[in-house]
Every structure is written in structure tokens, then in C-alpha cells.
Structure 1
Amino acid sequence: MDTVEIQRVVAIEDDNWWYRERRAIIARQLRRLEGPPGRAADIGAAGGGNTRVLLEHGWEAIAIDASPAAVELARLRGIDAYHGDACYLPLSTGDFDFVMALDLLQHIPDDRTAAGELARVLRPGGSALISVPCDLSLWSAHDIALGHVRRYTRESLAEVVRDAGLHLDHMWSWNVLLRPIVKWRRHQSTPQDMERLHPIVNAGLRAVSMLERYLPVQSLPGVTLFARAHRPEL
């Protein structure tokens, strides 16, 4: 993600339905973890919007991003942020209780090395939360503009997670209900479609997205795949 795109995300993420509901997903997953908050790393953190969720839940969290501009933006927001390549993380082995890589792996040609780095920095028993865009039929100019090199299937994401030495605990789809609208929008829009929505539209989209919390649709095709995994105990 380039500097302009990162700045655009930072400008809209506090209000935008997509970013708000994704932060709600992070919060729910954190509440599922056993034990008190510990050390966490947000890999591919951009401006640190998701890192703030970790901090709000009591975690000692750092942000890592390959973009110096993203690191600077995160630091300006009071986040402990560092420049680093996801395939060569500047982090100690087995030093973290939780790592997060949201919408990261699709940018990296060698996604298996990046996933292996997530596993390396986790302590035995530590957990990871990963999200990726799914389904090649949704591929559009949006993917190209954001620097994606792939979209995933459930099988391909599970293979990457397991090859990294992580145990896959749960995988689910997100934005199932809005998938038809997203597919239509992505194939109609210009590459740069990251824009501030009308408040009524934004509220409506968030309401539909929130409805998925209560419906049994997570096994159906969506727009994004989430995976929760952990590093096995020694």
C-alpha cells in the first residue's frame, strides 16, 4: 500500500463501516483468548488503526509496517511502531503472545515465508489472527491498485497457515451478505475507490455487516477470510 493510500485509510477508518466492523471482530477475538493480555504485534499495521484495538484491550502492542510513511503516521498517533519486512521481522523468536496480520499476506509474493515469521515470533501456545481477501472471481482493478498478488480460497489459506507450523483453530467468511454488492461495485469502480461515504449509506452498510454476527453465514462465500490459529505447545 503506497503513502497516498495509507493516508486515505487513516483519514476514513474511524468512521468507515468496513474498518469499524473489522475492529469489532478483532475485539471479539481478543475476548476469546485465555489469560490476561500480554505482548502483541500488529504486522502490516499501516497507520495503526487496528493496533489501537490491542492497546485499548490492555495489550502491550507494537506495530510493524514495510512503509516508513505508515510507521511515521502510526507514531504520530501515539503507537509504538517500527519499520520492518514481514518476511524478515525485526522481532525476537517466541516473544509474543498474540500476532495479527490483517490484509497483509495478499501483498507478499512469498506469503509462506511471511506466515512462517508470524509463527516464529509467537511463543508456544500464542495465537495469531489473519485475514485475507478471498475468491478470484472478485479480482478487480481494486486489487491491482492496492498491490495484491493473489486472492485466497479456504484451502489455500489453510495450507499457508499449516505450512507455517501453526494449528488452525477456526476459519470463517466475512461480508457474506454484502458480497453481491461488493462484487458489482468492484467491477464497476475506478481503481481508487477508497472514499468517504454518505453517512446514511455508511450506516446502512455497517448495519448489514453487523447482522452477520447473529446469522449462521460464516461458512458461505464472502469477501474476506479470517483465520484464527495458534503455535502448538512444545
Structure 2
Amino acid sequence: MDSIELQRVARIEDGNWWYRERRAALSRELLRFSVPGDAVDIGAGAGGNSRELLGHGWRATAIDLNPAAVTLARAQGVEAYEGDARYLPLPSERYDLALAMDVLEHVEDDGRAAAEITRVLRPGGTALISVPCDMALWSAHDVAVGRVRRYTRRALVELVEGAGLLLERMWSRGVLLRPLLRLVRHRSVRREDLAPLHPVANELLRLSAALERRLPLASRSGTWLFARARRPG
């Protein structure tokens, strides 16, 4: 993501339904921990997830390949450093929690990046991962935002387990919106995720995401996959 796009994300992520939904998913997962600890946010971008960690009492470190992202995160009070997801500038067995939210789909060697997640986690530490799913949804939008793949459930399982992590849970999001997304993405090459939404559309999408959380849809085909895994030990 280039600097202009990062600035766009920084402007919209506090109000945009998807960024809010992603942070809400993170917040729900954080409630599983009895006490906060040390966390690393890999591919932190503008720092929204890192701020969520800080808000829950975690000691958060943000890593991003783009120096502009590091500057943005630091401006928001986040400890941030420049680094490649495949070669994290971090000590081994240091963190209780590692986030890789919408990162691995941008990395050619995602296996190496997943292995780095395992390396920096303490034994028993948790990884939270989100990725776009299903190559049937592949469109010019994926190319425009620099993705190299979308994942199947099987591919994500193999990636996580191949890195030496124990998968605890995998769930889908965007099940209700999948038909609409497929239609919109295959008709447009705009980077619509980074464009401000009309307030009415934004609210309708937020309500759809809230409804989906109450329905038994986590195993259905959606637009995104989330995974929680643990380093053995």
C-alpha cells in the first residue's frame, strides 16, 4: 500500500464499516485473555488494530514494510518499526499475541511469513490471522490493492499448520455480502474499499455485519476468513 492509500485508510478506518468490524472481531478475541500481554501487529498499516490492542491494555508493537505506515502509527502513539513480514526485526519467543490481519495475501512467500509468526510467539502464544477468501471472487480490485492470492479454507489450514501452529478455530465473515461483493468487484476496478462510503450505505453494511454475527454462518462461504492458532508449548 502506497503512502496516498495509507492516508486514505487513516482517514476512513474509524468510521468505515469494514475496518470497524475487523477491530470488533479483534476485540472479541482479546476478551479470551485473562490478562493483556505483549503483542505484535504485523503489516499494521495506519495502526488501527494496534490502537485497539493498546485500548485493551496490551503492550503493542507495530511492524510494516512501508515507512509512511510507521510514521502514521507512531503519530497515533503506537510503538512502530519498519520491517518485512518474512524477516521480522524481532526477537524469537517474545510475544503472547501476533496479528496478521489482511497481510499474508500480499506476500509471495506466505509460508515464510507464517513461519515468522511462529518464531516470534512464545510457546502457548496466539496468532490471529485474517485473509480474503475464494479465488472465485478474484477481480481487478485484488490486483489493484496488491494481492497475490485469495485463500480457500484448506489453503489457510495448510499454511497455519505448515508453520507449526495448532489451529484452534477458523470462521468466515462477509457471508451475507458475498453475492453483492462479487457483483460489484467484477464490474469495477476502483479501489472502493479505500473510498469514503455514503453514510447510508456504510450504516447498511454495518447492520449486515452485525446481523451476521448473530446467525450460524461461520462455516459458510464468505468473503473473508479469520483464524485463531496457537504455538505449541
Q: TM-score per shorter chain, which class? A: over 0.9
| 2-structure distance, mates of 1:210, 1:70 | 29
Paired positions, count? 232
Q: Which moved more, 1:179-188 or 1:98-107?
A: 179-188
Q: Indicate the residue corresponding to 1:37 in structure 2.
A: 36
Q: Normalising by structure 2, what TM-score? A: 0.98
Instruction: List per-residue Cα deviations over 1:162-191 (Å, max 9, x = no partner).
Output: 010000000010111111111111111223
In structure 1, give the amino acid aligned to 2:13: E
Matched, 1:5 2:5: yes
Deviation at 1:50, TM superposition (A): 0.7
Matched, 1:69 2:68: yes
Structure 1: tracts of 5 or more residues without a match: none
Instruction: List per-residue Cα deviations over 1:187-217 (Å, max 9, x = no partner).
Output: 1122322211111111111000111111000
Q: Indicate the residue corresponding to 1:18 in structure 2.
A: 18
Matched, 1:144 2:150: no
| 2-structure distance, mates of 1:144, 1:5 | 15
In structure 2, give the amino acid aligned to 1:75: R
Instruction: List per-residue Cα deviations over 1:50-71 (Å, max 9, x = no partner).
Output: 1111000000001000000111
Instruction: List per-residue Cα deviations over 1:137-184 (Å, max 9, x = no partner).
Output: 111111001110011000000000001000000001011111111111
Instruction: List per-residue Cα deviations over 1:12-36 (Å, max 9, x = no partner).
Output: 0010001111110000011123x31
Secondary structure of the corresponding residue to residue 50 of structure 1: helix
| 2-structure distance, mates of 1:191, 1:106 | 19
Matched, 1:79 2:78: yes
Instruction: List per-residue Cα deviations over 1:109-131 (Å, max 9, x = no partner).
Output: 00000000000000000000000
Deviation at 1:77, TM superposition (A): 1.3
Secondary structure of the corresponding residue to residue 156 of structure 2: helix
Secondary structure of the corresponding residue to residue 169 of structure 1: strand
In structure 2, give the amino acid aligned to 1:128: A
| 2-structure distance, mates of 1:32, 1:187 | 38
Asked whether the equivalents of residues 165 and 229 of structure 2 are also in contact (C-alpha less than 8 Å), the reply is yes
Kindly report which structure 2 residues correspond to 1:101-140, keeping only aligned pairs within 5 A, or say none: 101-140=100-139
Asked whether the equivalents of residues 141 and 190 of structure 1 are also in contact (C-alpha less than 8 Å), the reply is yes
CA RMSD of aligned residues (A): 0.8
| 2-structure distance, mates of 1:174, 1:6 | 24
Matched, 1:227 2:220: no
Q: Indicate the residue corresponding to 1:186 in structure 2.
A: 185
Q: Indicate the residue corresponding to 1:211 in structure 2.
A: 211
| 2-structure distance, mates of 1:88, 1:160 | 17
Deviating beyond 4 angstroms after TM superposition, the runs of 4 or more aligned structure 1 residues are: none
* Fraction of identical pairs, as percent: 58
Structure 2: tracts of 5 or more residues without a match: none
Q: Which moved more, 1:187-196 or 1:204-213?
A: 187-196
Instruction: List per-residue Cα deviations over 1:84-141 (Å, max 9, x = no partner).
Output: 0000001110000000000000000000000000000000000000000000011111
Q: Normalising by structure 1, what TM-score? A: 0.97
Asked whether the equivalents of residues 144 and 191 of structure 1 are also in contact (C-alpha less than 8 Å), the reply is no
| 1-structure distance, mates of 2:142, 2:130 | 15
Q: Indicate the residue corresponding to 1:202 in structure 2.
A: 202
In structure 1, give the amino acid aligned to 2:188: S
Deviation at 1:4, TM superposition (A): 1.6
Q: Indicate the residue corresponding to 1:157 in structure 2.
A: 156
Secondary structure of the corresponding residue to residue 188 of structure 1: coil
Asked whether the equivalents of residues 125 and 230 of structure 1 are also in contact (C-alpha less than 8 Å), the reply is yes
